[in-house]
Amino acid sequence: MWSYLARRSAQAFFTLLIITVLCFLLTRFSGDPIAQYAANPRMSAEDKAALRERLGLNQPLPVQYFKWLGLAAQGDLGNSFFAKQPVTKLIFQRLPNTMALMFVTEFFTIIAALILGIISAVKQYSLLDNVITTFSFIGFSMPIFFSALGLLLIFAVQFKEWGLPYLPTGAAVWDKKDPVQYIYNMILPVTALVFVQSAGYSRFVRTSMLEVLGSDYIRTARAKGLTTRAVLFKHALRNAALPLVTIVGLDIPFFLGGAIVTESIFSWPGMGRLFWEYAQRSDYPVVLGILLIISIAVVTFTILTDVLYTFVDPRIKIS
């Protein structure tokens, strides 16, 4: 166990090192960070050169990289060129919003997937199963902007036009006095995300449920006269839900990044929009900081999920 952990951690360390080099090169050269001053008539060429000097943009590339890496290792991700604030501060302003959005989404996604998956497994090849399968295939093939824009059009724009109670189009700012408004703003983005995400999850639950339902211990449970409900929820579901642990565990770190498109469409002030706004401005410290945080989370959670799984499912042994 410990040697396994040590080996995985060593691998993870190299993976992260490659990520930092890769991301640094990609973001550092994606556009000129001080191009946003280009149109400013008050800035002369000398001023720009001085600014470059001050921001350290004219130093040799390896120096820039190791400076950034050294500071990042100490938890300092540098300052945003545009907002002139520490990157960590910008990120921690947005992180709660993204976490709220993503965890609520994940909660409803899992519930929807369990319900749909169990129904279609228990009633395999019935009309209901076919309907659910069709919908999950459609959901699986759907880009998020389809559901997001559709919900926006129907529940925010058309409902308003028809004089019905309508939902806000977005622009949520956390107002401590008004949590109701916050939840209101959350309804549409969460629905759009759940619709698309539960499609894949429910197929997964269906498959693993079918596998479990065909196994001997379920037949034994039925044979000794247990009710269908007890067989399904006490015996089958527990094992069928196990693989879901892996999927959810591997998905959680990606939550940190939020949902770029959904957050943009509903003007949700989360990490995805932060990333997108600053990527457009070539503000590379922010972009780089977000990428680093997400990838550290992804790499850590991959190992954690593997280890956790051996505890949840003792049949699995790691070597």
Name the residues that contact other proteins, by CB under 8 A: 11, 14-16, 18-19, 22-23, 26-27, 29-31, 137-138, 140-143, 145-146, 149-150, 152-153, 156-158, 161, 169, 254, 257, 260-261, 264-265, 275-276, 279, 282, 287, 290-291, 294-295, 298-299, 302
Quote the least distance from Cβ 47 to other proteins, whole Å: 25
Quote the least distance from Cβ 153 to other proteins, whole Å: 5
Which amino acid belongs to residue 223?
Answer: A
Q: Report the 10 Å Cβ neighbour count for 177.
A: 6
Quote the least distance from Cβ 151 to other proteins, whole Å: 10
Quote the least distance from Cβ 302 to other proteins, whole Å: 8
Quote the least distance from Cβ 96 to other proteins, whole Å: 19
DSSP per-residue letters across 236-294: IHHHHTHHHHHHHHHHHHHHTT--HHHHHHTT--SHHHHHHHHHHTT-HHHHHHHHHHH
Q: Which two tokens stand for residue 33?
A: 């960070």
Handedness of CA 32, 33, 34, 36 (dihedral sign): positive
Q: Which two tokens stand for residue 64?
A: 């820039």
> Which of 88/267 has CB closer to other proteins?
267
> Which of 221/300 has CB closer to other proteins?
300
> Which of 145/174 has CB closer to other proteins?
145
Please state the separation of Cα 180 from the chain's center in Å.
Answer: 24
Rounded distance between C-alpha atoms, residue 199 and residue 65, angstroms: 41
Quote the least distance from Cβ 21 to other proteins, whole Å: 9
Q: Which two tokens stand for residue 78?
A: 């540098």
Q: Which two tokens stand for residue 234?
A: 């006490």
> Which of 132/241 has CB closer to other proteins?
132
> Which of 11/40 has CB closer to other proteins?
11
> Which of 34/152 has CB closer to other proteins?
152
Q: Do residues 256 and 270 make contact, with C-beta atoms less than 8 angstroms apart? A: no
